[in-house]
Structure 1
Amino acid sequence: MKKFIGTGVALVTPFNKDTSVDTIALVNIVEHVIEGGIEYLVVLGTTAESAVLTTEEKQLVIDTVVKANNKRLPMILGIGGNNTAAVVDELKNTDLQDFDAVLSVSPYYNKPTQEGIYQHFKAVAEASPKPIVVYNVPGRTASNILPETIIRLANDFKNIIAVKEAAGDIVQAMRLLKDAPEDFLVISGDDMITLPMVNAGGAGVISVIGQGYAKEFSEMVRLGLAGNIKAANELHYQLMPAIDYIFEEGNPAGIKAVFEKLNLSTATVRLPLIEASEALKEKLHNFTDALYA
């Protein structure tokens, strides 16, 4: 699955000031990341605030991105949850013809055992007509998928092709990279340790900051994949402050503040999230001014 090597971005859902979906801004963001050199798009992931979108709004987001992309880049659709039967049903009843894979988050809140996680993804793999990218994000799910569980899934189900590893643990990532099957992709889900993971053999990233500073972040990843460590490190260190900033008050409040500065969308999020503070916006706006000075 070479189409998923490099930088993918977990697209936001931009909102108007009244919190309705801003499809014009979404089209502009898709153009921004494509022009910036991003390799693929991820639709309706966590960063899209999918938890607070209605079924109709989710379809509106899908239709808007599919049309805007116009088959230029590969696309992944987020379909996951903590009710295995509901996830299976959604996989069977969603039109996936425009998507190349599905990103499916580990069950949240329930706190399943490793065997429970395995059985969940077994059911997902057997139901999905598209390849699966397992999403491990223990900071949101309250349970960590251990490397041995990921490796077991990778070996047992050929359509489980990758993991988006967002534990923020470089040691865990290296254990995955050491033991994963040769054709299995270990994709960073943490912007700050993306380059170290790439340098250790990772396939790239599904990024948040990469949709804001698309040109710089995607070039950093390409340089890392090409073994140009010095040049990649220079970009990484340049972007480090902004990576801290965008997550300082939660995601996607930070990245939406960047989009506000770039005149791509408002900074509006939906409750229970709140918009980035003026202090954080000032830091991000100053960083952006300095980056493009």
Structure 2
Amino acid sequence: MTAITTASLTSPAGAAAPSLTGVVPPVCTPLTPDFEVDVASLLRLVDFQLAGGVDGLFILGSSSEVAFLPDRHRQTVIDAVLGHVGGQVPVLVGVIDMTTMRVLDHAHRAVRDGCAGIVATAPFYTRTHPAEIELHLRRLAEQCEAPLYAYDLPVSVHSNLDHDMLLRLAADGVLAGLKDSTGDDAGLRDLIVARNDAGLTGFSVLTGSELTVDSALRMGADGVVPGLGNVDPHGYATLYAHARAGDWERAGREQERLLRLMRIVRAAPASRMGRGSSALGAFKTALQLRGVIEHAVTAPPQIPLDTTETEYVRQILIATGLL
């Protein structure tokens, strides 16, 4: 397992090292058939991630179905995971919500309970001006004594995070890092180059794009937050280790195997359910088939996979060596 810390380090050359690196999966939230948090399955999933060699955990993100969960479910997840992990790896907590005051409520609870960092998107529902997004992030950092990571998720919040703003906040000590889920590899590379040019190498840049991790790491990204890592944490840990060793050929081969595995998200046709329902349903179905969680239940109003779609997932798991 690669060592990781959320404290700022100093390299021999005197530049700050990234505060967060490696493989940090956004942990799914297993549910019971009556839509309660399945704590026993959640803890098995956490152990599965740790045994797979991950460097940290991100709970209550998109793959955790955070937008679907009531506050009491969120608290159950925080209590269970932080208590179980006990500092073995850093645990970041998503504090994602529509407005600053609501996000602050989540953040205060997460910090009180001992998280290693909090993760926030831009505000959403109403469209926010870039100046309002910056104010939002500054207020979170001012009022919460934990590292703050921005989450660039334009598909859900309908707004990209401005790179100049991100680096300004990094320079001011507001942001510890970024999860980039834009899918824009050129933009990601531009941000990494701008970060390095500004000497802000302590600002962690993590890609959320599961299928181009080898490319992102070669460009200088510090790690990955892969939803597919729920299903195959060892695969992403292996990819990251090859990249750290400079063995790009082996990293590429592992990335291609994971690309084939990612085809599970196509289990259901778009005519029957949303892409998010298909992807999260496939992740949970794969975890159930692998014996990690008890049920493949997703939160309503998402539509569950049927038996044909479950068999599709099973066949891909067999083809990629996971069953």
The TM-score with structure 1 as length reference comes to 0.93
Letter in 1 for 2:169: L
SS at match of 1:9: coil
Asked whether the 8 Å contact 1:23–1:64 carries over to 2, the reply is yes
Work out the CA distance in 2 between the residues paired with 1:222 and 1:159: 30
Query: More deviation in 244-253 or 280-289?
Result: 244-253
Q: Which residue of 1 aligns with 2:288?
A: 260
Structure 1 residue 96, shift from structure 2 partner: 3.5
Superimposed CA distance per residue, residues 207-258 of structure 1 (whole angstroms, 9 cap, x where no aligned partner): 1111211111221122123321011000001110222433663242221111
Return the letter of the residue paired with 2:230. Answer: Q
Do residues 153 (structure 1) and 169 (structure 2) align? yes
Distance across 1 between alignment mates of 2:110 and 2:81: 16
Q: Which residue of 1 aligns with 2:298?
A: 269
Paired residues for 1:200-279 under 5 Å: 200-246=219-265, 249-250=275-276, 251-265=279-293, 266-279=295-308
Tell me what 1:189 maps to.
Answer: 208
Deviation at 1:63, TM superposition (A): 1.5
Identity %: 22
In structure 1, the gaps of 5 or more residues are none
Matched, 1:162 2:177: yes
**Structure 1 contact 7–38 (Cα < 8 Å) conserved:** yes
8 Å contact kept, 2:53–2:233: yes
Moved more, 130-139 or 53-62: 53-62
Aligned-partner Cα distance in 1 for 2:101–2:39: 31
Whichever residue aligns with residue 170 of structure 1, its letter is D
Question: What is the CA-CA distance between 1:115 and the residue it aligns to?
Answer: 1.8
What pairs up with 1:124-163 in 2 under 5 angstroms? 124-156=140-172, 158-163=173-178
CA RMSD of aligned residues (A): 1.8
Unmatched 5+ stretches in structure 2? 1-5, 7-17, 268-274
Kindly report which structure 2 residues correspond to 1:24-63, keeping only aligned pairs within 5 A, or say none: 24-63=40-79
Residues 161-203 of structure 1 show CA distances to partners (whole Å, capped at 9, x for unaligned) of 1000000000110111011122111101121222211110001
Distance in 1 (alpha carbons) for counterparts of 2:312 and 2:25: 22
Amino acid at match of 2:291: N
Q: Deviations over 1:46-100 (max 9, x none)?
A: 2212223222222211121123213211110111322112223443354434211
**Residue type matched to 2:79 in 1?**
D
Q: Which has the larger displacement, 110-119 or 167-176?
A: 110-119
Q: 3-state SS of the aligned residue for 1:263? A: coil
Q: Are the counterparts in 2 of residues 212 and 259 from structure 1 also a CA contact under 8 Å?
A: yes
CA contact (8 A) 1:209 1:246 kept: no
Deviates more, 1:279-288 or 1:143-152: 279-288
Mean Cα deviation higher: 85-94 or 104-113:
85-94
1:204 shift after superposition: 0.8
Would the alpha carbon gap of residues 3 and 227 (structure 1) be closer, same or farther in structure 2, given more than 3 Å must change?
Answer: same
8 Å CA contact retained: 2:211, 2:258: no
Shift of 1:131: 0.5
Kindly indicate whether the alpha-carbon contact (under 8 Å) linking 1:44 and 1:78 is maintained by their aligned counterparts in 2. yes
Mapped to 2, the partners of 1:279 and 1:241 lie a distance apart of 19
Q: CA deviation at 1:3?
A: 6.2
How high is the TM-score relative to the length of structure 2? 0.85
The residue that corresponds to 1:178 in the other structure is 193
Given that 1:37 and 1:214 are in contact with CA atoms closer than 8 Å, whether structure 2 keeps it comes out as: yes
The answer to whether the Cα contact below 8 Å between 1:44 and 1:58 also exists between their aligned partners in 2 is: yes
Q: Show the counterpart of 2:132.
A: 116
**Deviations 1:85-125, CA, capped at 9 Å, x for gaps:** 22234433544342111111122222212222111111111
Which of 34, 38, 59 is the aligned partner of 1:18?
Answer: 34
How many residue pairs get aligned? The number is 292
Higher mean displacement: 117-126 or 29-38: 117-126
Secondary structure of the corresponding residue to residue 112 of structure 2: coil
* Pair 1:222–1:96, CA change in 2 (3 A): farther
Question: Does the aligned pair in 1 maintain the 2:121–2:152 contact within 8 Å?
Answer: yes
Q: Is the 8 A contact 2:137 2:174 kept in 1?
A: no
- In the alignment, what sits opposite 2:14? none
Choose which of 102, 107, 110 in structure 2 pairs with 1:86.
102
Match of 2:3 in 1: none
